Chains A and B, each alone.
Chain A
Amino acid sequence: MKKNLTLIAGCLLFVVLLSGCGLTSKQIVQTQSFGSATENIGKLGEEEFVNIRNGIIEMNKELVAIDNTKTASDLKFDRPTSPEATATRIAATKALKSYGDLLVNLATEDRAEDLQKAANSLINNTTAALKKDLSEEEKGAINKIIVGFGSFWIDNKKADAAKEIIPAYEESVNELADLLAEDFSLNDGSLGYIKAYDTTAKRLKNASMRLVNAGDQYSVLERDHAVQALVLSERAISRANEISKKAEKAIDSLKKANTELVKVIKEEPYSTDDIKAYAKKVQELVNMFQVLEN
C-alpha cells in the first residue's frame, strides 16, 4: 500500500509539474505597474477633461464680455469641448482604469481563505462518508494536500487567463494612449482638448490686450475687467503647459507598462526565487503524503 500511496502522490505531482508555475513574481509586479499606470490615466481623464471644458467656458464668457465685436452667434461657450465629446473621453479613461484594476485583482488576489473553507468542507464530508475517525495529524496532512493542490490550480488558472487576455488587448490600450496623447499635446500641429484650451486662452489674452493698451479710451471699470481677463488668460496658458507635461508623463508610463507587461507575460522569465518557491510548494506536498504513509 505504500507503493500505491507513492504512486498516487507521484501521479498528482506529475500533473502539477506539467501544468507549470503560476504567474512569476516579475509578471505580478509588471501587472501592478500597469494597474498603477491605468489608475493615473483614470484620474487624469476624470479631472482634466472636465477642468479643460469648464476653463474654456469661463474664458469664452470673458471674451464675449470684453470684445464688443462678438455677437449672439459667438455664444457657444463650450466650443469645441461639447458635453458628449467630454463624457466620451472620461468614459474611455474610466474603462481603461477598470481593466487595469481587474488585472491587478486577477494577478494578486489571495484565495487562501476560500481554499481553506473548501478544504475543510471536503475533509468533513469525506470522513463522515467513510464513518472513520482520522487522527488530527492525518486530517491536517489531507487538508494541506488539498489546499496545496488547490493553490496550484488557482495559480495556473490565473496565469492562463493573463496570458490570453493581456496580449489580446495590447493594441487597444496603445490606441487609447495615442488618442489621449493627441488630446493633451501642445505640439505645433496638434488639435486636441488642451490645444483648444490653450487657443481659447490666447484669444482672450489677445482681446484683453486691446483694452489694456488703449490708454484712456476705456473707463477704469472696463480696464479692470480687461485686466482680470488678461490674468485669467495668462494663468490658463501656464496651466495648459502644466497639464500637457503631466499628461505626457502619465501616457508615456502607460505605454511603457503596457509593452513591458505583454513582453513579460509572453516570456515567462522565472527567477531563481520563483523556482525556489515552486520547489518548496512541491516539497511540502511530498512531506504531507509521507505523513499519511506513516
Chain B
Amino acid sequence: MTSLGKELHNTIRNLEKLRDSQNPPSDDVIAKLDVLYDQQIDLIDAAINKNTEKYKKATTSMKEAAKKTKEAIDDLAKLEQALEKIANAIGKVTELLDEVA
C-alpha cells in the first residue's frame, strides 16, 4: 500500500510538471501547489515529532554505551593493584635469589 507521503509527493510532482509546461504558469496551478506543499510540511511535522522521541531513546542508549566504555578505560588504571598481585608471585624469585646467594 502506497504511503500518504508518497502519494502526496507524486501528486506534487505531477502538478509541478503541469506548471512547468505552461507559459506563463496558471495562478490556479500555483495556488494548488502551494496548498499541497503546506500539506506536505504538515505531514513532515508529525513525522519529525514522532521521530524526536525515538532520537531521545537512541541518545540515552548511546550515552549508556559511552559510560560503560569509559568505565572500562578507567578500569585499566587499576593496573597497580593487578601488578601487585603479579609482583607478589614474582617476589618468590627474589627469595630464591637469596637462597642462591
User: B66 to A207, Cβ gap below 8 A?
Assistant: no
Residues of A contacting B14 in the complex (Cβ-Cβ under 8 angstroms)? none
* A-B pairs with beta carbons under 8 Å apart, 27 shown: A5-B93, A12-B89, A80-B42, A82-B48, A85-B52, A88-B59, A95-B59, A98-B62, A99-B62, A109-B73, A115-B83, A150-B79, A150-B86, A153-B79, A154-B76, A169-B64, A172-B65, A175-B58, A176-B61, A179-B51, A191-B43, A191-B46, A202-B37, A209-B30, A210-B30, A214-B24, A292-B93
- Place the interface of chain A in its size category: 35 or more
Least Cβ–Cβ distance between B2 and chain A, in angstroms: 8
In the complex, besides A132-B97, A162-B72, A175-B58, 7 extra interface pairs with C-beta distance below 8 angstroms are: A79-B45, A80-B42, A95-B62, A114-B79, A126-B91, A126-B94, A145-B90
User: B94 to A130, Cβ gap below 8 A?
Assistant: yes
Q: Considering the complex of A and B, which 7 residue pairs feature the smallest CB-CB distances, nearest first?
A: A161-B72, A189-B6, A80-B45, A191-B47, A95-B62, A213-B24, A172-B61
- Knowing A95-B66, A191-B44, A210-B30, say if A8 contacts B87 (CB, 8 Å): no
User: B43 to A165, Cβ gap below 8 A?
Assistant: no
Does A81 sit within 8 A of B, measured CB to CB?
yes
Residues of A contacting B31 in the complex (Cβ-Cβ under 8 angstroms)? 69
Chain A positions within 8 Å of B, measured between CB atoms, are 1, 4-5, 8, 11-12, 67, 69, 79-82, 84-85, 88-89, 91-92, 95-96, 98-99, 102-103, 105-106, 109, 111, 114-115, 118-119, 121-122, 126-127, 130, 132, 134, 138, 142, 145-146, 149-150, 153-154, 157-158, 161-162, 164-165, 168-169, 172-173, 175-176, 179, 182-183, 188-193, 195-196, 199-200, 202-203, 206-207, 209-210, 213-215, 292
Residues of A contacting B80 in the complex (Cβ-Cβ under 8 angstroms)? 118, 121
